[in-house]
Structure 1
Amino acid sequence: MSPIHFISTSTIQLTNAHQNHPQRIELTPGDLRVLRFNQNQKGLIFHKPKHLSNDQGLIEQLKTTLSHTLHIFYPLAGRLGLIENGNDDQTCCFFLHCNGEGAQFVHAVADGVTVADILEPTIVPDDLVYSFFPMNGLFNYQGISNPLLAVQVTELVDGIFIGCTMNHCVGDGTSFWHFFNTWSEICRRGGCVDQLSQPHPDLAREQLLNGIADLPIRIQRFQYHGIPERSVGPPLQQRVFHFSKERISQLKAKANAEMETDKISSLQALMAHLWISVTRSRGLDANEEVAYFILAGTRQRMQPKLREEFLGNAITSGLVKSTAGELVKNGLGWAAWEINKMIASKTTEEVRKSLDNWVKCPTVLKFEGMIDRTKLVTGSSHRFDVYGNDFGWGKPLAVRSGPADKCDGRLTVFAGADPGSIDFEACLSPETLQAMAQDPEFWTHDVKPNFNIGVDLNGAAQATPL
């Protein structure tokens, strides 16, 4: 029996429902590409505030400050708009309809569940963590008839979990955490929105294209009405690997020394370390091709550069390929250098060329089927300000992601709670995780696992920038 008890579901409106703002915001190629992906789901766990007189006061405070935040991030209070072009055309246009219909707010209680039940055990039973997130299983295009933002506040015995589901067509990981950072600051300041340290979002999406194409962009129609079909995948498990600042330095130094360079970054060394161990643990044939699908932010790769507070999807992707045997044989430095070269190749010219090619032949991909047991994909970023989200009760204890777009080989990177540390949330088959636990070369660097979520995931996997 699920310990989750739902108290209420309400709609949060803008503070000023009659504010003067555009009713329509066009979607860019990055926004349209993820229409058939699941939404962005991340959540934070806190100790329960002791200074509040009652839990209902906390809930009302969060509702009120969320309304203030939506006043600033008003597209999140809208819906996706859809225009179907003529029958002979067979194309359609999606856009953000800023109609102020509101965001969803869910108040729940996890009966008998403590913070320790989530953070301390090696295995968490069933899908406990995923029950802390609202609107599970929805695709982004279903924002036509569903909120673009949903928040679930779940009370634990001694803690609070704030799970947020944001439609990925509105923004990428940078946009997601910009919203979260703004909300927490407004709440910490008692609802005051004057002189925030967080800048307001930049909604000028046309600058992303910079003359490549006119908006709106027409795409081929697909089945966006009714209940989508879902494939049933194999059981998967999640485990969070925590890399301390010292271990990261060791891996980085080793990778650079092997390649006689100083260009390999800490994150590139970590990704290479995980890629090798996962490949070795999967027991693949030496001649079997393996690939690492990496997503990277393009705000600083555009010309002119996009502001960090740009609200939208500014990401690019690339593949690093090898054979299983070559990857394991060549080792850490070689794998990290291959990752380095791929990321370095994503120049301003290459990003612009990729946008231009997509506009000429728009395609909306499904995440299901893109990733299999020979591939890895890394999203999110260790640079996102996760632990700066103080709502007035202290910093978060940990960050967790929801069930959206999970697959065998999904690695989600976060900053660790300790300064300079990095966490990787690895979604893999139970057999692969078991083999990694017995891989002496992986553990040589004394990488300590944080916990292992033993949940079965039926279905696929978000793409956010690094």
Structure 2
Amino acid sequence: MPSLAPTLLSKCTVFPDQTSTLGNLKLSVSDLPMLSCHYIQKGCLFTQPNLPLHALISQLKTALSRTLSLFPPLAGRLVTDSHGYVYIACNDAGVDFIHANATALRICDLLSPLDVHESFKEFFAFDRKVSYTGHSSPILAVQITELADGIFIGCAVNHAVTDGTSFWNFFNTFAHLCRGATNSPRNVPDFRRDSILISDAVLRLPPGGPQVTFDAAAPLRERIFSFSREAIQTLKAKANNWRLAENENNAGELMKKQSNDEHAKGNRILENWFKVKPLSVTETTEISSFQSVCALLWRAVTRARKLASSKTTTFRMAVNCRHRIEPKLERYYFGNAIQSVPTYASAGDVLSRDLGWCAEQLNKSVKAHDEAMVRRFVEDWEGNPRCFPLGNPDGASITMGSSPRFPMYDNNFGWGRPLAVRSGQANKFDGKISAFPGRDGSGTVDLEVLLSPQTMEALHSDSEFIKYATSHL
């Protein structure tokens, strides 16, 4: 697929329209591991605004300047003190603003191929820039790319400074102010640094900083698969019905065992307990829609990779810790407040068991990630401070990032909602999946899937997977 690289028209620095009053913000145990990751690259595709070009660019710069005053860390730089602690200096150093032209491309050109169009990777600044370089580079860059019949607004932001929750709060605030809203945004970011995520542990880094832990040049295929609301509901019902049947079978086996043992103590009490309070889905943590979709993907990718049955597979999911600790972090706490939760199972179990069994394993891992587990993760990192090892070194891992709960389409710069959400080349490797909400807002989900070419072809012809998933065309 040929790439039509945009032409750079202008580049400048945009500063906050008000002086920051924030001091240095210490990076947390969730921020520091991201210093070896690429900058986040996410953006939105829009139809052509009904504005002269010069007016559009001026309006976007003004809105960005106002937004930076609400998000001072994004206009700052990273600093490391003499003790090795890393901070965000909210020093109003500014962000990059880039205007580029790609009018040889139309919206239909970008959205029609089966694989994600190669040109999207050209719509972002800071290509494969490692977050540690935020010591000398801007923490944020915004690129506006003109198309023949639309525009793309792409943001690249330091991953040691923001997670997805913080990023989309910034992006939507940017849109809110751009469309001329006079009222202050409701989702005001919280910059406090007084939680268990703030630690005295020091991350020791090699001279020049860390590097990414995967081969960024490995050949990959990238496709977006959509799941309708009906398909997701069917998967969820299948997963939860499996659990209900499994619970009933277990209860029946236990009651049978107890009834056959006339000397068993408490037999009558146990029987009455099951009659009054049978095991049911409603009395456990219900398997979610998203966990059901993830289970389907886990099975299909494992099958497509043709792994030995004894091979251990890993499914990693990023979980938001804001509500999992006490006292809870504010909903719009600014920074990384995520932990990567792994679920392990042999390839044989993933493929021989029911989809509901796979969903159950994912459900158990997420359910178990309570405050005690968050603290355990923190203590483990403090005992061995390290950067996050992104990648798929054993060829049997899947890493799920982003979230269908993020308000990716809840932004309107003044000319309508986005047509699509896309990402750049950042942090992409075999088995990296990103979850997006569907554009229609009805509960649909899109998965951005990165796999080796041979695995992608096998996935695309997997009968169980394609029964529920639709390729973007």
**TM-score, with structure 1 as normaliser:** 0.89
Instruction: Out of 269-278 and 344-353, give the one that drifted further.
Output: 344-353
Partner deviation per Cα, 1:416-447 (whole Å, 9 max, x = no partner): 012210000000011111112221122233x2
Q: CA RMSD in A?
A: 1.9
Partner deviation per Cα, 1:74-115 (whole Å, 9 max, x = no partner): 111011012244xxxxxx221101111101111001131011
For 1:169-180, list aligned pairs within 5 A.
169-180=160-171
Equivalents in 1 of 2:306, 2:383: separation in Å?
41
Give the aligned partner of residue 48 of structure 2.
Answer: 48
For 1:140-219, list aligned pairs within 5 A.
140-189=131-180, 192=182, 194-196=183-185, 198-209=186-197, 213-214=199-200, 217-219=201-203
Equivalents in 2 of 1:27, 1:411: separation in Å?
26
Instruction: Out of 272-281 and 369-378, give the one that drifted further.
Output: 369-378
Give unmatched runs, 5+ long, in structure 1: 86-91, 452-466
Give the aligned partner of residue 277 of structure 2.
Answer: none
Equivalents in 1 of 2:451, 2:387: separation in Å?
26
Is residue 2:222 matched to residue 1:242? Answer: no
Instruction: Out of 177-186 and 76-85, give the one that drifted further.
Output: 76-85
CA pair 356-228 structure 1, distance change in 2 beyond 3 A: closer
Give the aligned partner of residue 100 of structure 1.
Answer: 92
Matching residue within 12, 23, 28 for 1:10: 12
Give the aligned partner of residue 207 of structure 2.
Answer: 223
Q: Look up the equivalent residue of 1:358 and give its one-letter code.
A: W
Equivalents in 1 of 2:406, 2:213: separation in Å?
34
CA shift, 1:297, in A, is 0.4
Give the aligned partner of residue 407 of structure 1.
Answer: 429
Name the SS for the 1:14 alignment partner: coil
Give the aligned partner of residue 64 of structure 1.
Answer: 62
Query: Is the 2:5–2:102 contact (alpha carbons within 8 Å) kept by the matching residues of 1?
Result: yes
Q: Look up the equivalent residue of 1:13 and give its one-letter code.
A: F
Give the aligned partner of residue 259 of structure 1.
Answer: 243
Is residue 2:358 matched to residue 1:374? Answer: no
Matching residue within 96, 114, 118 for 2:110: 118
Structure with greater helix percent: 2
Equivalents in 2 of 1:427, 1:229: separation in Å?
17
Matching residue within 399, 421, 428 for 2:444: 421
Is residue 2:321 matched to residue 1:298? Answer: yes
Equivalents in 2 of 1:363, 1:174: separation in Å?
23
Matching residue within 384, 398, 419 for 1:361: 384
Partner deviation per Cα, 1:165-221 (whole Å, 9 max, x = no partner): 11011121000001011111111125x3x333x332100022244xx744xx42213
CA shift, 1:254, in A, is 0.7
CA shift, 1:121, in A, is 2.1
**Residues matched between the structures, number:** 431
Give the aligned partner of residue 354 of structure 2.
Answer: 331
Q: Look up the equivalent residue of 2:360 and give its one-letter code.
A: W
Q: Look up the equivalent residue of 1:106 and give its one-letter code.
A: I
CA pair 300-400 structure 1, distance change in 2 beyond 3 A: same
Instruction: Out of 351-360 and 375-384, give the one that drifted further.
Output: 351-360
Matching residue within 260, 278, 289 for 2:301: 278
CA shift, 1:43, in A, is 0.6
Query: Is the 2:213–2:389 contact (alpha carbons within 8 Å) kept by the matching residues of 1?
Result: no
CA shift, 1:349, in A, is 1.2
Name the SS for the 1:118 alignment partner: helix
Q: Look up the equivalent residue of 2:184 and give its one-letter code.
A: Q
CA shift, 1:325, in A, is 1.6
CA pair 228-320 structure 1, distance change in 2 beyond 3 A: closer
Partner deviation per Cα, 1:139-186 (whole Å, 9 max, x = no partner): 110001100000101010001100101101112100000101111111
CA pair 227-56 structure 1, distance change in 2 beyond 3 A: farther
Q: Look up the equivalent residue of 1:380 and give its one-letter code.
A: S
Equivalents in 1 of 2:465, 2:226: separation in Å?
13
Give the aligned partner of residue 28 of structure 1.
Answer: 28
CA pair 299-49 structure 1, distance change in 2 beyond 3 A: same
Q: Look up the equivalent residue of 1:206 and give its one-letter code.
A: D
Give the aligned partner of residue 88 of structure 1.
Answer: none
CA pair 405-213 structure 1, distance change in 2 beyond 3 A: closer
Name the SS for the 2:36 alignment partner: coil
Equivalents in 2 of 1:124, 1:33: separation in Å?
29
Equivalents in 1 of 2:184, 2:11: separation in Å?
31
Equivalents in 2 of 1:384, 1:227: separation in Å?
28
Q: Look up the equivalent residue of 2:148 and give its one-letter code.
A: V
Query: Is the 1:25–1:95 contact (alpha carbons within 8 Å) kept by the matching residues of 2?
Result: yes
Equivalents in 2 of 1:30, 1:245: separation in Å?
33
Equivalents in 2 of 1:318, 1:142: separation in Å?
27
Instruction: Out of 160-169 and 115-124, give the one that drifted further.
Output: 115-124
Query: Is the 1:299–1:307 contact (alpha carbons within 8 Å) kept by the matching residues of 2?
Result: yes
Q: Look up the equivalent residue of 2:312 and give its one-letter code.
A: E
Matching residue within 418, 431, 443 for 1:396: 418
Name the SS for the 1:35 alignment partner: helix
**TM-score, with structure 2 as normaliser:** 0.87
CA pair 241-229 structure 1, distance change in 2 beyond 3 A: closer
Equivalents in 2 of 1:232, 1:412: separation in Å?
17
Query: Is the 1:238–1:425 contact (alpha carbons within 8 Å) kept by the matching residues of 2?
Result: yes
Partner deviation per Cα, 1:195-253 (whole Å, 9 max, x = no partner): 33x332100022244xx744xx4221323259989846431011101001111000100
Runs of 4 or more above 2 Å deviation: 223-234, 364-367, 369-373
Query: Is the 2:311–2:346 contact (alpha carbons within 8 Å) kept by the matching residues of 1?
Result: yes
Give unmatched runs, 5+ long, in structure 2: 245-280
Query: Is the 2:310–2:347 contact (alpha carbons within 8 Å) kept by the matching residues of 1?
Result: yes
Equivalents in 2 of 1:282, 1:156: separation in Å?
38
